[in-house]
Chain A
Amino acid sequence: MSALSTDSKPSLGRGFRLQWEPAQNAHVLLYPEGMVKLNGSAGEILRRCDGNRTIADIVTDLETAFDASGLTGDVCAFVSIALEKRWLEIHS
């Protein structure tokens, strides 16, 4: 696993699937015999992790969408946790 930078392009880990579940009113992450119900911000970050966008792109996108600023720290912190849990991967 390469070190995390704002140029990193995270994508969902193999075997993981993200989808919106109306019955739970939430994004959920599905994986072998398991499921995580995501809170609003986790869902918004993860659905932008498509392997094409860099973390910098994702931050800009979120700041525009939610009329916010200074989200880099929060996004990086979440991506680090998600990498550890293998929800995300980074291919360099």
Chain B
Amino acid sequence: MTTVPGHPGPPLWLLLELTYQCPLHCVFCYNPTDFARTGPELATEDWLRVLHEARALGSVQLGLSGGEPLSRPDLEVIVAEAHKLGYYINLITSGVGLTEARIQALKQAGLDHIQLSFQDSTREMNDFLSSTRTFELKSKVAALIKRYEYPMVLNVVLHRLNIDHVEQILEMAEAMQAEYVELANTQYYGWAFQNRERLLPSRAQLKHAEEVTRRYRERPLQKMKIFFVVPDYFENRPKPCMNGLGSVFLTVTPDGTALPCHAARMLPGLTFPNVRESTVKWIWRDSPGFNHYRGDAWMKEPCRSCPEKSRDFGGCRCQAYLLTGDPANTDPVCDLSPHHHLVTEVVAKADQVRPVGSASRLLTGNAAVEKPLIFRDRRNSLALSER
């Protein structure tokens, strides 16, 4: 079902990116590379107003993310208000800053669930990929999450440098008693797009990881629910991104800009509204930014006449823009797209590169000859977005 402009269903999923501050510097972060140039963060009362207005429209699943949401000292206040309003509240965190005092306060405030990110099963790779020393701290936080009886989703973003460790990652998750594990292959936006050549796995790596995951699922007494998110570059049809823009998903970024997906700020020719100036109701129902990609009037061929358009909505607008320069084009992941070669060429190149075995080799040998990884930090953000 496509959403008709002006008559959307409720924004069931509300994601509040409370801050772009983050103690980690992950090379696969989807945050915009120009985050250091965005305006000041919303105040507590702005976030509370957004919670009220969105709940009145029917928002019910709430994600609190960032950056690192624990960087906001008012996180507990925001959680308490959200709980009072009837949201199911998911905290999406690196775990850095999650002390026992805070985890207790968040429990009291009504937090429902914690998604903890890990970069890898090894200290060496975890710390290298996030450009910090956090592995042991994260392990302690995982134990704390269990002690306070939260359901735990362990999220590990997969890519060329850690995908060969899937078995160890799953064993680590089981040892930590995670209820759910998300093996989420990197999606190439933001910082991940900058680092794409170094992060995209080979087909052989991907196949191996899928096989290991399948075998692990079949282990007796294995109770974790394991999600394996395939990197869309290896598919022939695009993902139904956000179930169509403006259909169920609403993001509010740290400076108050409202977006129909995490990455949509990059889309050219659109002005996205800000919760400082407009109500959530107007933003969701009437703003041109949210209505533009509703329905299918914006579509070009081959999507426009394609019978599958109501299933995948033409794929991802941001990916179409990043790879072809026009966000109204078919997502080039689709093999019906005239630009599909832009994806297959990158995948073919990844197949030729020898997989990198360990972080120490990365830190020494290869790093000198290959394009260096760009870590997500303020300095790099300013450099990448120089005007």
- A residues with a Cβ closer than 8 A to B are 14-15, 17, 19, 21-24, 28, 30-35, 86
Contact = CB atoms under 8 A, between A and B. Distances in A.
A91 B150 CA distance: 19
Nearest to A17: B88
24 contacts: A14-B149, A15-B113, A15-B150, A15-B179, A17-B88, A19-B60, A21-B58, A21-B60, A23-B58, A23-B60, A24-B10, A28-B60, A30-B88, A30-B112, A31-B151, A32-B115, A32-B153, A32-B179, A32-B180, A33-B63, A33-B90, A33-B153, A35-B12, A35-B88
A24 B58 contact: yes
Contacts of B180: 32
Nearest to A33: B90
A32 B90 contact: yes
| Residue from A19, A22, A24, A30 having most chain B Cβ neighbours under 10 A | A30
Given A30-B60, A33-B153, A35-B61, 19 more contacts: A15-B112, A15-B113, A15-B150, A15-B179, A22-B58, A23-B10, A23-B57, A23-B60, A24-B10, A24-B12, A24-B58, A31-B113, A32-B179, A33-B63, A33-B113, A34-B61, A35-B12, A35-B60, A86-B225
Contacts of B60: 19, 21, 23, 28, 30, 35
Interface residues of B, number: 20
Nearest to B13: A35
Nearest to A23: B58
B151 A33 contact: no
Most chain A CB inside 10 Å of its own CB: which residue of B12, B88, B112: B88
B57 A30 contact: no
Contacts of B90: 32-33
Contacts of B86: 19
Nearest to B223: A86
Contacts of B57: 23
Contacts of A24: 10, 12, 58
B187 to A, nearest CB: 16
Given A30-B61, A32-B153, A17 B12 contact: no
Contacts of A32: 90, 112-113, 115, 151, 153, 179-180
Interface in B50-65: 57-58, 60-61, 63
Contacts of B115: 32-33
Contacts of A30: 60-61, 88, 112
Question: Top 8 closest A-B pairs, CB basis?
Answer: A23-B58, A15-B151, A30-B88, A32-B113, A23-B10, A32-B153, A32-B151, A35-B61
Nearest to B179: A15
Interface in B151-181: 151, 153, 179-180
Contacts of A86: 225
Contacts of A28: 60
Contacts of B10: 23-24
Interface string B203-243: 00000000000000000000001000000000000000000
A92 B90 CA distance: 30
Contacts of B113: 15, 31-33
A32 B162 CA distance: 25
A34 B225 CA distance: 13
Nearest to A30: B88
A33 B115 CA distance: 9
B89 to A, nearest CB: 10
A30 B12 CA distance: 11
